[in-house]
Structure 1
Amino acid sequence: MTVATVLLHLCTPGEWRSWLDAGAVAPPSLDEAGFVHLSTPEQVALPAERLFAGRTDLVLLVLDPARLDAAGVRVRWEPGVPGDPESMRFPHAYGPVPLGAVLAVVAYRPGPDGFTAPAVPEPTAAFRASAFEASMLRRAADAEEPVTGGVAIRTDEWPVSRMHNRLQIDRPHLTDAVVLAREADRALVAHGRAATAFLDGPGARELATGLTAAGWAVSALDVLAGPAGRDATGAAARAVEVDADVVREFRLADWRTALPDLPDGQLAQLVDRDAGTARAVAMHHVAVLDDGVAVATGTLERDGATAWVDGLTTAPAHRGRGHGRALLARCRELAAEYGCDLVALGADADDWPREWYLRAGFSLVGRQYEAIRRP
């Protein structure tokens, strides 16, 4: 019997998004053949080239075989279709694949010669947390193109949003400040976007230093992660899940206070860009209400077994009352309810919330950098 560290399921972002709502990976093959087609990293190029030749929007669901076994989903190693090597055996999952077995979602793109065996990183907690946002944004973007050391993404509905329009550099050691500036001009500025880069991976700190010397404004962002689960203090009971409109009104007021001179149209972009996130991952909005009015809000984003907490904010007049703890506790409970075991978030490396999250049981698992070229 073949043993694999991870198994992969090849699909489109839209299929994966629908399964997040359905609660399990259940493609048509489950009804037609009785199983879900899986592959090892060494095999997946075969079905990719046969079924999706030329497609540039595919993703790989990275599955933990042990979690499939624990969920009672039997995996059999069986022959593929006619034309596949006779000696090759593919893993077939006999049952819906639970979301909790999906450790990561990674982009899978063809090269000049088509699809090849991907380099799938080990899905450690650090990788799952650090890769969450970049993976989500690639799936939500309207356009993606290669740049030296990574990709450029653009999202037409929210051109003012730096997170939705940026260079995502995951191989910083392959580029430098001069090359990155040229790529930003070509892939972003020429399309009416700001020159923004997001750096992660080996060489990120060195590239960040070079960009600082070249006049870019660079911020260090820490990635923190902690377990999902119920909060023993009961703080979560004070936060409830609410409709997106409740959070939207709260955030409009918050952004207006923070950026009073920003035009209304651009302000709306910063709030409504959540809709782009919801195209790629499942979202849950939580709030603490005072007489039916939101005084603190936050969002939980789910992508398989990994969740991300974003936008925890309390209105100034209501701070110091434990609302942040309630929101965070409710997010961790929601994550567990939907099969997530890991909750991650980002924090400015030099701001006080970082220490607050560490006290709340989160651990530092990575450091990333955002660089913005000054006018």
Structure 2
Amino acid sequence: MLLHLCTVEDWAHAERAGGVDPLPDVGFVHLSTPEQVHLPAQRLFAGRDDVLLLVVDPARLTDPVRFEPGVPGDPASMLFPHLYGRLPATAVVAVLLWEPDRRPPVPTADDAAGRYAALALSLPVRRAHACGDPVARRGAGWAVGSPDHPVSRDDNRLLLPVPVDAEAVLADAAPLVPTAAASVTWCWPGAPDDAARLAHDLERRGWRVGADRVLARAVPAAGEPTGPAELLAQREVHDLWADSWRELLPDDPAAIAQLVGREHRNDLALRVLDVGVREAGRVVAAGQLRVDGGTAAVESLQTATGHRGRGLAGAVLDRLLDEAAVAGCDLAVLEAAAEDWPRHWYARRGFVDVGVTRTATRTTTRTGQAGTSQASSR
């Protein structure tokens, strides 16, 4: 696999434009191997925390790649891959956070768990950068926060890309705990024992730990849309989202407004498509697709009360997979609660279990006492 360095803003623009264009002064896109990428990173992006590693599958490139000398100061024998043509967004199979002091594992195209982990751990950081929210390295992880959405677990959390012990987590997460819904998320492909041990240790210390199964499938070839699901403007889905949150938070309209209002933030970090089914002018089923290069994440698939059991969610999922194919994605990923029935529903639709992601939540009440609340459920 090859790597391309860019900023959060650069990748968001490239995703919408369909790829990265060659530099006009040299006629190629700079690439690196995993063993040499630290050299251009230190030269071009020293001291920055908004730098990404785009993982490029050479098999998906149609223009030539030539290995050529770098710049003066690089080892004389080292040759860098230069792509003489456009880098298609669909050739990017994962997006990693660049960390000068750590070499992240680089997933291959067929590593569904690794590709999912890259998206799950990098998107919250990329989203925070795109929104101008606080981002900080804390120990082995990344901390993000959203002052405008304090009840959102997704936007106020510590993200752990590598195994750590509970004591380190508690120290690194401490600045987040006063937030209404502080949380810690970890997803370590290939280290299930370490992940389970951290969950056990945090539970002993009073944190609530939930597990989701990571499911994945190859994206089928696109067909002509035939069902009732259609592309929607995101605002058209707001009422359905609000109704869903109202079932959990019946007495907290301010929290519901935050949880619905936060969703537009993803659009600033990657490409987002919303799909739904309308009946009598009202959206009664919907789902979201987040396109990140060649990876498509299915999110927020739901059906309104009173309309379930009629196949509407299946129609939405089919349309989401069609849109993933149109976008050039080869892999679809999603999370499903480990102990709930939807993961079996997804299995019948071709999704297979590839791993686990865990989130530990500890909230603080208005009186300053530690506790757990429904508002920390997402």
TM-score, reference length from structure 2:
0.89
Q: Is the 8 A contact 1:236 1:328 kept in 2?
A: no
Partner of 1:224: 215
The alignment status of 1:189 with 2:177, answered yes or no, reads yes
Alignment of 1:89-108 (within 5 A): 89-108=79-98
Which of 115, 120, 123 is the matching residue for 1:128?
Answer: 115
Moved more, 153-162 or 99-108: 153-162
Contiguous gaps of at least 5 residues in structure 2: 363-369, 372-378
Tell me, what secondary structure is at the counterpart of 1:32? Answer: coil
The alignment status of 1:372 with 2:361, answered yes or no, reads yes
* 1:48, distance to aligned residue in structure 2 (A): 1.6
Tell me, what secondary structure is at the counterpart of 2:306? Answer: helix
The whole-number CA distance in structure 2 between the counterparts of 1:86 and 1:218 is 51
* 1:193, distance to aligned residue in structure 2 (A): 4.4
The whole-number CA distance in structure 2 between the counterparts of 1:145 and 1:357 is 36
The whole-number CA distance in structure 1 between the counterparts of 2:15 and 2:308 is 34
* 1:78, distance to aligned residue in structure 2 (A): 1.3
Alignment of 1:144-163 (within 5 A): 144-163=135-154
The alignment status of 1:252 with 2:247, answered yes or no, reads no
Q: Is the 8 A contact 2:222 2:323 kept in 1?
A: no
Instruction: Please give the per-residue CA displacement for 1:142-179, whole angstroms capped at 9, x wherever unaligned.
Output: 2222334422221233221001111112323x212x44
Partner of 2:365: none
The alignment status of 1:34 with 2:31, answered yes or no, reads no
Tell me, what secondary structure is at the counterpart of 1:320? Answer: coil
Q: Is the 8 A contact 1:35 1:94 kept in 2?
A: yes
* 1:230, distance to aligned residue in structure 2 (A): 4.0
* 1:121, distance to aligned residue in structure 2 (A): 2.6
Alignment of 1:27-176 (within 5 A): 29=23, 31-68=24-61, 72-111=62-101, 118-123=103-108, 124-141=111-128, 142-172=133-163, 174-176=164-166
Tell me, what secondary structure is at the counterpart of 1:318? Answer: coil
Number of matched pairs: 354
Tell me, what secondary structure is at the counterpart of 1:294? Answer: strand
* 1:278, distance to aligned residue in structure 2 (A): 1.4
CA separation of 1:197/1:159 partners in 2, compared to 1, >3 Å: closer, same or farther? same
The whole-number CA distance in structure 2 between the counterparts of 1:360 and 1:267 is 31
Question: Identical aligned pairs, as a percentage?
Answer: 44
The whole-number CA distance in structure 2 between the counterparts of 1:269 and 1:312 is 19
The alignment status of 1:308 with 2:303, answered yes or no, reads no
The whole-number CA distance in structure 2 between the counterparts of 1:218 and 1:119 is 25
Tell me, what secondary structure is at the counterpart of 1:237? Answer: coil
The alignment status of 1:25 with 2:20, answered yes or no, reads yes
The whole-number CA distance in structure 2 between the counterparts of 1:125 and 1:87 is 34
Instruction: Please give the per-residue CA displacement for 1:207-234, whole angstroms capped at 9, x wherever unaligned.
Output: 11112222221111110001112477x8
Kindly report the root-mean-square deviation, in angstroms, between the aligned alpha carbons of the 2 structures: 1.9
* 1:369, distance to aligned residue in structure 2 (A): 1.2
Partner of 1:3: none
The whole-number CA distance in structure 1 between the counterparts of 2:11 and 2:140 is 27
Which of 192, 208, 212 is the matching residue for 2:203?
Answer: 212
Tell me, what secondary structure is at the counterpart of 2:227? Answer: helix
CA separation of 1:183/1:82 partners in 2, compared to 1, >3 Å: closer, same or farther? closer
The whole-number CA distance in structure 2 between the counterparts of 1:290 and 1:214 is 48
Alignment of 1:271-290 (within 5 A): 271-290=260-279
TM-score, reference length from structure 1:
0.89
The whole-number CA distance in structure 2 between the counterparts of 1:235 and 1:23 is 23
Tell me, what secondary structure is at the counterpart of 1:261? Answer: coil
Instruction: Please give the per-residue CA displacement for 1:38-96, whole angstroms capped at 9, x wherever unaligned.
Output: 1111221222222222111100000011111xxx2110111222333332211111111
Contiguous gaps of at least 5 residues in structure 1: 1-5
CA separation of 1:89/1:129 partners in 2, compared to 1, >3 Å: closer, same or farther? same
Which of 327, 344, 348 is the matching residue for 1:338?
Answer: 327
CA separation of 1:148/1:51 partners in 2, compared to 1, >3 Å: closer, same or farther? closer
Q: Which amino acid aligns with 2:89?
A: L
Instruction: Please give the per-residue CA displacement for 1:105-153, whole angstroms capped at 9, x wherever unaligned.
Output: 0000334xxxx7x333333111112332221111112222233442222
Q: Is the 8 A contact 2:53 2:97 kept in 1?
A: yes
CA separation of 1:236/1:257 partners in 2, compared to 1, >3 Å: closer, same or farther? farther
The whole-number CA distance in structure 2 between the counterparts of 1:87 and 1:231 is 46
The whole-number CA distance in structure 2 between the counterparts of 1:240 and 1:15 is 30
Q: Which amino acid aligns with 2:185?
A: F
Tell me, what secondary structure is at the counterpart of 1:312? Answer: strand
